[in-house]
Amino acid sequence: MNKHIGFDAIVVGAGLAGSAAALVMAREGLNVALVERGQKPGSKNYFGGAIYTHAIAEVLPDFMERKPKFERPVTEAGFWFLAEDGLTKMVTQGGKLNAEPADAYTALRADFDLWWAAQAQAAGALLIPKTTVVDFIRAAGGAVVGVMTDRPEGEIYAPVVIISEGVNNLLTQKLGLIDHDLEPAHQALAFKQVISLPAKEINARFGLPDANHGVAASVLGDVSLGLPGMGFIYTNKKTISVGLGVMLDTLAEYQLRPYEVLQRYLEHPAIAPLVAGGQLLEYGGHLIPEGGWHDMPQLYTDGAMVVGDAATMVNALHWEGTNMAIISGKLAAETALEAHQQSDFSVRTLAGYEARLKEGFILKDMKQYRRFSRFLETHPEFMGTYPAFLNDALGGFFSAYGKPKRQLFTEIYQSLTGRRSLFQAAGDMLSMGRAVLGW
């Protein structure tokens, strides 16, 4: 007879959302099991990327004293527009970006997630690694009262389960919280390389004074062959993270191989010198749920709540996901604490989770950006035409040529209208605005 393994709460997945939830509950004295399928937290997780400190501070005000595993503060951020053979940057430096602690830090998930989970462990949560949750244990009425893992004698009981399983939300589906598979058109496949270079070399190539400065850039245009997608490049201490995301359906339609698209991006004349001579440390891919608002599952049921990527809480344009994950984890944890106080784990109490979300920025942002991924699909010119035009236009503007300026401007103007009629261009801007501002 095996003993019944019981906890006050179970968190499925030690990613950003899961460890945040576990930390908040454990700190208040709950006995928390944090179940992670990877060898260690972070070992299976990928992102760009940068992590936003406002979210961490909300969970852990003294985080800077706990030596977070950040790489570099983001002191330069912006868009890079790639044409076939040129690059135009729109970046901002200094100002707000010089704050201490910075608003965002670049990070490598294998290190950061480990540190983040360690904070939850320090608060008393029990991290159970190398264990995959495969199903739920349900009470007679259907309420979730525990999970089943892939291990022998692998049942764990708890009155409340927080599902922070990430984008591959099999469990969320299993609970019937989302009634459809995520469509390929609503998911981007992101793939990236981590390339190692000496810190000095990185500073020189990116024009950074030292390793306490870093770049985060979203790269548009030729990066994705003009197809719906977006690239990124982040400087870490001694590595560069570079990659891109392309919508799944596009990959399938054009029969693109992720590795080749990335390789082409890395060989771009403006990118190649940044990574030249570096050693490839990692190559990996990960899905990003971009369906956003439309794909959002029901967020709770009796005995369970869904947080983070599993609830499609991602803002694709801003590469924001970690902050939403952390905050949603925290809010779900607070709801679980309340449920323990009331000894009621039914939807009556757990509905408080959605109410808390509505007060914050997550649901508001998600609603505002609800048209964004559809917008990208229907407006490929933002990936091809406009970046190319920008490069032509600025390249023209800043060249002497020895011809009258009026002729030059006419040429620039024609290089746009040759690609897209003025009328179309105006329409594009309008729908871009709608997509971003949520009109």
Partner 1 sequence: MFHALVAIKQVPDTTNIRIDPETGNLVREGVPAIMNPYDAHALAEAVKWKRKLGGKVTVVSMGPPSFITTIREAIELGADRGILLSDRKFAGADTLATSYVLAAAIEVIHKEEPISLLFFGKQAIDGDTAQVGPGVAVRLELPILTYATKIRAVDLENGFVTVERHTEHWVEVVETPMPTMLTCEKEIAEIPFAPLPDLIRSLRYDPEIWTMSAGPLEFDKQQVGVLGSPTIVFKMGTPPLPEPGEKFNTREVGVEKAVKLALDKAAAAGVLQAVLGGAQ
Ligand X SMILES: Cc1cc2nc3c(=O)[nH]c(=O)nc-3n(C[C@H](O)[C@H](O)[C@H](O)COP(=O)(O)OP(=O)(O)OC[C@H]3O[C@@H](n4cnc5c(N)ncnc54)[C@H](O)[C@@H]3O)c2cc1C
Which residues contribute to the site for partner 1 (CB under 8 A)?
2-3, 5, 39, 110, 126-128, 130-131, 149-156, 279, 281
By a kind-dependent CB cut-off of 5 to 8 A, residue 120 interacts, out of partner 1, ligand X, none, with none
User: Closer to partner 1 at the Cβ: 132 or 315?
Assistant: 132
Could you give phi then psi for residue 231, rounded to 5 degrees? -105, 170
CB-based contact 73:214 (threshold 8 Å): yes
User: Closer to partner 1 at the Cβ: 79 or 157?
Assistant: 157
User: Closer to partner 1 at the Cβ: 42 or 49?
Assistant: 42
CB-based contact 8:106 (threshold 8 Å): no
Answer yes or no whether residue 382 interacts with ligand X by CB under 6 A: no
The piece of 151-159, 174-182, 261-269, 302-310 that touches ligand X (CB under 6 A) is 302-310
User: Closer to ligand X at the Cβ: 158 or 393?
Assistant: 158
Closest separation in Å from C-beta 150 to partner 1? 8
- Residues 310-369, interacting with ligand X (CB under 6 A): 310, 314, 319-323, 325
User: Closer to partner 1 at the Cβ: 128 or 274?
Assistant: 128
Answer yes or no whether residue 292 interacts with ligand X by CB under 6 A: no
Please state, in angstroms and rounded to a whole number, the distance separating the CA atoms of residues 25 and 378.
43
Please state, in angstroms and rounded to a whole number, the distance separating the CA atoms of residues 314 and 304.
21
Q: Whose CA is closest to 238, among 287, 185, 198, 208?
A: 198
User: Closer to ligand X at the Cβ: 121 or 385?
Assistant: 121
Q: With b meaning 16 or more CB within 10 Å and e meaning fewer, what string describes 115-133?
A: bbbbbbbebbbebbeebbb
Answer yes or no whether residue 186 interacts with ligand X by CB under 6 A: no
By a kind-dependent CB cut-off of 5 to 8 A, residue 308 interacts, out of partner 1, ligand X, none, with ligand X
Closest separation in Å from C-beta 241 to ligand X? 9
DSSP sequence for 32-54: EEEE-SSSSTTTT----SEEEHH
- Residues 19-48, interacting with ligand X (CB under 6 A): 35-38, 44-48
Closest separation in Å from C-beta 330 to partner 1? 24
Please state, in angstroms and rounded to a whole number, the distance separating the CA atoms of residues 20 and 47.
17
User: Closer to partner 1 at the Cβ: 283 or 361?
Assistant: 283
Alpha-helical regions (H) of 199-268:
199-206, 248-253, 258-266
By a kind-dependent CB cut-off of 5 to 8 A, residue 130 interacts, out of partner 1, ligand X, none, with partner 1
Per-residue 3-state assignment (H helix, E strand, C coil) for 307-359:
CHHHHCCCECCCCECHHHHHHHHHHHHHHHHHHHHHCCCCHHHHHHHHHHHHH
Binding mask 196-235 for ligand X (x = CB under 6 A): ----------------------------------------
Cis peptide before 29 (omega within 30 of 0): no
Q: Whose CA is closest to 192, among 126, 288, 79, 96?
A: 288
User: Closer to ligand X at the Cβ: 45 or 368?
Assistant: 45
By a kind-dependent CB cut-off of 5 to 8 A, residue 166 interacts, out of partner 1, ligand X, none, with ligand X
Reduced to 3 DSSP states, what percent helix, strand and coil does the chain have, rounded to the nearest 5? 40, 25, 35
Closest separation in Å from C-beta 231 to ligand X? 10
Closest separation in Å from C-beta 152 to ligand X? 16
By a kind-dependent CB cut-off of 5 to 8 A, residue 279 interacts, out of partner 1, ligand X, none, with partner 1
Closest separation in Å from C-beta 189 to ligand X? 9
Residue 199 neighbours by CB distance under 10 Å: 16
User: Closer to ligand X at the Cβ: 13 or 226?
Assistant: 13
Please state, in angstroms and rounded to a whole number, the distance separating the CA atoms of residues 321 and 96.
21
Residues in the chain: 439
Q: Contact positions toward ligand X, by CB under 6 A?
A: 12-18, 35-38, 44-50, 52, 132-133, 164-166, 171, 190, 192, 243, 245, 286, 288, 308-310, 314, 319-323, 325
